[in-house]
Structure 1
Amino acid sequence: MLAVSLLVCATCWSVSSGEGSYMARALRLMSETPLIDGHNDLPWQLRKQFNNQLDKVDLNTLETTHTNIPKIKTGRLGAQFWSAYVPCESQYKDAIRQTLEQIDVIHRVCQKYPNTFMLATSSQDIVEAFSHNKTASLIGVEGGHSIDSSLGTLRTLYHLGVRYMTLTHSCNTPWADNWLVDTGSEPSQHNGLSPFGKNETGGIVMVNFYNDYVTCSHKATLANVADHFDHIRKVAGAGIIGFGGDYDGVARLPEGLEDVSKVPHLVAELLRRGWSDLEVKATLGNNLLRVLKRAEEIRDSLSKLSPDDVPIPYDEVKNSCRTGDAYSNSGAFPSLSITALFLTLPLQTLILLSAP
């Protein structure tokens, strides 16, 4: 009986020791390469819970969100794209105003907690923030409805620090169909993208952690998320993968990934599954840095070109909430695609956040 007990204990120690070695390795890699997460909705929670009144919240002690400063530190979050999200119901109404307010609150969070966050607008900023043990804070706009089909608005958002915009959220825009079209619950208007909306490839797939996307059910585990990483690596290689957790933007998260502090456990799981250090570093942040640097290179090469100022045809956007004064002498599609704009005075790169 004693021998059996000793054998069982030795087995338990071996398993625990093995898991510990993967975690130690994960933390080492995360100390060398910044974990760059592509999507966090903490700004939306600040709007919902506090109406963006930062004097009424302390991110050091906040416990009603998936994200706070202690969780960020434990999760080794090197860089975060904070989402400037506004609901689809705001389209054609006050979407731009609300989006500007969300961009403003991201700036103010960085100003309120300068020892934790550093506003970042470039790949170099991410590297610099990481070297100072701060979380590089970038801005992403969640949904094309936030620009009201205006390239001038897009350029303005870029100047305010925005570095990506997803084409849609859960509503069609006048130039792109949203994901609900694929479910059959909404009709297609553009067969994907209109001529105004067409983009080139070469981005990065940042895996969403939302249970309903991971398993198509209310329940999911860390292992299920790791399965998605494995699938993308098998299909397209580790060179296009990133993290896009969607913390504070979803109602359910996998067991083992309940908040931002748990992400190192996912990194350890990838290592346990045989991912190399090089592949893990690529997925942590090097893939995103590569894409962002390339976009910056193209931006600089096109910097002498004039931005496109031909609006989308009024027939494509007219509705009861929109005036048509600016369209009196226009009507042609833009001569440059929106991709060219993204790269000229751009939101640098279009990074689509999705599960495979």
Structure 2
Amino acid sequence: MPATPVAVAASGDTNIVEDLYGFLRVLSDGTVVRSPDPPKFCPITFPCDHPSVQWKEAVYEKGNNLRVRTYKPSGCGEQAGRKLPVLIYFHGGGFCLGSCTWANVHSFCLRLAAEAGAVVLSAGYRLAPEHRLPAALDDAAGFLKWLREQSVSTEAEDGWLTEAADFGRVFVTGDSAGGTLAHHLAVRAGSATPKHGDDVDSVTIKGYILLMPFLGGVDRMRSEAVEFPWAEAPFINLAMLDRFWRLSLPEGASRDHPIANPFGADSPGLGSVEFPPVLVVSAGTDLLHDRTVDYAERLAGMGKPVKVVDFPNEPHGFFTLDPWSDTTGKLIRLVSMFVVDSCVAAPKTA
């Protein structure tokens, strides 16, 4: 499906069959048109630098020009006598929008690195509908492979990452669609055969942080009902969520597809999957609130080490809508505490 980065008239064009905020449009011939300008909810006025954070950008997968931005607080590294935990971050956007280069994502990662005291790796992935799922999940798994290669390479980015990162304390996090990627990475890792001897993994994932994961299902949850005041909100409403799934899932798939619905009829059972600690964050005025809480409660009911924390008065993705708000600061402190607690947690006994 060809993609063209040019603008198309917002109205009066009967060739437009799908429209996401005027930023992405699908035409009747299958052409995907992406605007060259950032969407209105991504102001370019967010800070591009932080006085206590260094950052740089690299390509981690040349074939698809997939990028990662690395953020590290100043004063860390071997010479400073301390290495920091690593937070892998996958952005949201319904698998159709978003970029590690967008100002709001960049700004949030700056603050996350500074206030959580962690190396933050903000990784991009291929977007739908040009690249339908599971492309994004394959890219996320590919990024973990890249990170493992970096952790043992003597030539990795001139040591810029390896001198600061503690690869024994890695956490996978993401918001919305990125949170969904984090879930599926956890399932893949928790279903794999343990490694032994020379095959011991050079990267240890200590936990997963799912920030308002973008989950779905054919059957609606209570918070998705039209009587809720946010159900028809202009920014994220039920029709828009359905449109994201329609554009990102494999052709003909329903919202019960295993990537969308971890508990659908065709989804693999999670009872035998080994999960490290998982933090799930929900937002009270989010259409996906009940689905997020249901996800966490189901995993907890299976005996998985899952904690859910609710921000009752906040909308979906509030921390990227306003990365410098007081509430975003509270979220970052929550993430920081989870990282500390997960790293000192006692190991399981047989």
TM-score range, shorter chain: 0.3 to 0.5
Q: Which has the higher contact order (CA 8 A, sep 6+)?
A: 1
Q: Which has the higher helix share?
A: 1
Larger-gyration structure (1/2)? 1
TM-score by length of 1: 0.33
